[in-house]
Amino acid sequence: MLGAGATVPGPAQRSTSGAGGFAAVDIARSFFFADANHDGDLTRAEARRLSIGTMSFEEMDRNFDGLISRFEYEDSLR
């Protein structure tokens, strides 16, 4: 039993369970801020703004449509 003022540790505030060991919130933030027009896809110019990246634009663009979707981006970090 806990007395007054006792604390119980809660869940960790930062989890690295996201793609490639990056925190999911950091991945989402990287994509959100890179997507200047917020259309859900990154052009080559927008992809240069990514704060987390491990592949070239060509490697991330798996379907060769000239855009990086959120799925393609997250998949590139695995």
Quickly list DSSP for the chain: ---TT-------S----SGGG--HHHHHHHHHHH-TT-SSEE-HHHHTT-SS--S-HHHH-TT-SS-EEHHHHHHHT-
- 13 part of a folded domain: no
Counting the structural domains of the chain, the total is 1
Give the list of residues 6+ apart from residue 25 with CB closer than 8 angstroms, or none: 14, 18
- 3 part of a folded domain: no
Q: What is the pTM (predicted TM-score) of this model?
A: 0.74
- 57 part of a folded domain: yes
**Are residues 71 and 55 in contact, defined by beta-carbon separation less than 8 angstroms?**
no
- 6 part of a folded domain: no
Q: Over the stretch 21-72, which tens digit does the pLDDT of each residue have?
A: 899 999 999 999 999 999 999 999 999 999 999 999 999 999 999 999 999 9
Which structural domain range is residue 36 located in? 19-76
Specify the CATH number for the domain of residue 26: 1.10.238.10
